[in-house]
Amino acid sequence: MKYYVISGEASGDLHGSNLLRALKNEDAHAEFRVWGGDLMVQAGAELVKHYRDLAFMGFTEVIMNLPTIIRNIRFCKQDILQYNPDVLILIDYPGFNLRIAEFAFKNNIRVFYYISPQIWAWKQSRVHKIKKVVNRMYVILPFEKEFYARFQVDVSFVGHPLLDAVEQFNHDSTFRLRHNLSELPIIALLPGSREQEISRMLPEMLKSIASYTNHIPVIAAAPSIALEKYKTWSKGFQVHIISGETYQLLAHAQAAVVTSGTATLETALFMVPEVVCYKGGKISYWLARRLIKVRFISLVNLILDRMVVKELIQSEMNDTRIREYLDKILYEGTERSTMLQDYTELRKQLGGIGASERTAKDMVERLKIKV
C-alpha cells in the first residue's frame, strides 16, 4: 500500500520513523512519501519537504509567514492527488494537517491521525472537524480518550511512542570521552528545536547556569539548526554544544533546564530532574493566556495532573528563577527524590512499550477491510 505521511516537527519525525518501520513489518509492500525529516528518510521514506522549512510557532510568527504556509498547503494538496495514496497519515501539526485532512476526505482518501493535536488545551472546537474528516484517531496520552468520548468520538489509545524510543536507546560509555567532557556532573540545556524559540530561551538558560562552576553545562543542539548559530547565541559562556545526541546527553545528565514541549517528557523518561521553561512573543503569549484551557504547560504535569516539575513562564522565565529551582533538584534531597518517584508513576500511566507496533497493526487491518 501507498502511505502519505505529514509531520511538521522534530518529534513527529521521530515518532513517524518508528511508525514507518512498524508499518513495513505489517505491510511488506509499503511505500512512503512524507513531509518530515532525516529519521523518516532513514526509515525508507521519500521526502517531500523537511520540517525545518515548516516550523512556524506562535500567532504572530504564523501570520508573518502566511504566504509560505498557503503555498505549502496548495503544493501539498496537488502532491497528494498526484501520488494517490491508499491512506493519508497525519502526525500532530494541526494548523496545517487539519486543512489537508479535510481536503483528503473530500477526495475520498482515507485519513488516519496519529498523535492527536492538543485540542484539549485550546481550540476544542476542532474536535468537530476531526469527527467529520478523520477516519481514525490514535491518541498517545491517557486522558485524551476520555476527552474525545465527551464528544462521542471513539479513538484508539495506543500508548506513548516515546517509551519505544527510550527503550531502544543504547547508552554510549564513550560519550564523555568523545566530547571531551570531564567527570563533573552535567547540566543539560534543551532550548527547543525551532530557531525562534531557541533565540528566546537559550540566553536566560545560559545566564542561569553560569555560576555552577562544579558542573558542565551542555546545550542539546537541534540537528536542523546550524552549529554556528548556537556559537553566536552562547558567545561569552563556557558551554559545550552537542548536536543530534539529546538522548545520550540526558542519559549522562544530573539535571536539565528544558523548553516546554515533548522534551519535558523525554527528560522525565530518562529520570533526569528538570526545570521547565517557556517564553513567547508578547502578542502570542497574551493571546495564548486567553485561549489555553489547561493548568499546566509541561506534559509531565498534564499527565499526572499535578505540579511535578516547576514551570517558569514568560516573565518568570529568568536566570534568577531558573537557578532557584535548579538548586533544589541538582543535589540529593526531598525535591529531587520526590520528582524521581513521580517519574516512575508517570511511566506506568503511559501505556507501556509498543505504541508504534499497536498503531501500525490497527492501521493495516483497517485498510484491508476499509474501516
pLDDT digit string, tens, across residues 1-59: 999 999 988 889 989 999 999 999 999 999 999 999 999 999 999 999 999 877 555 54
Q: What is the pLDDT of residue 284?
A: 57
Q: What is the pLDDT of residue 67?
A: 74
Ranges 20-34, 269-283, 348-362: which has the least confidence: 269-283
Going from N- to C-terminal start, the domains of the chain cover 2-161+354-369, 175-349
Domains 2-161+354-369 and 175-349 share a fold: yes
Side chain identity, residue 327 = D
CA angle 31, 21, 163 (to 5 degrees): 145
d(CA 191, CA 158): 29
Q: What is the pLDDT of residue 203?
A: 94
Strand ranges (E), 18-163: 31-36, 46-50, 87-91, 110-114, 136-139, 156-157
pLDDT digit string, tens, across residues 64-93: 666 778 899 999 999 999 999 999 999 999
d(CA 46, CA 16): 13
Indicate if the pLDDT at residue 228 is higher than 90. Answer: yes
Q: What is the pLDDT of residue 294?
A: 59
% of the chain exceeding 90 in pLDDT: 78
Backbone angles phi, psi at 344, to 5 degrees: -65, -40
User: What is the Rg, in whole angstroms, of the alpha carbon atoms belonging to the chain?
Assistant: 20
pLDDT band at 289 (very low <50, low <70, confident <90, very high): low
pLDDT digit string, tens, across residues 93-128: 998 999 999 999 999 999 999 999 988 877 888 999
The closest of 8, 10, 19, 17 to 364, measured between CA atoms, is 19
Distances (CA, A) of 209 to 86, 90, 214, 330: 51, 39, 10, 12
* Homologous superfamily, domain 2-161+354-369: Glycogen Phosphorylase B; (3.40.50.2000)
Q: What is the pTM of this model?
A: 0.82
- Neighbouring residues of 155: CB distance < 8 A, sequence distance ≥ 6: 116, 136, 137, 138, 139, 144, 145, 148
d(CA 301, CA 250): 19
Over the chain, what is the mean pLDDT?
Answer: 91
Side chain identity, residue 149 = A
pLDDT band at 164 (very low <50, low <70, confident <90, very high): confident
Topology given in CATH for the domain delimited by 175-349:
Rossmann fold (3.40.50)
Q: What is the pLDDT of residue 371?
A: 62
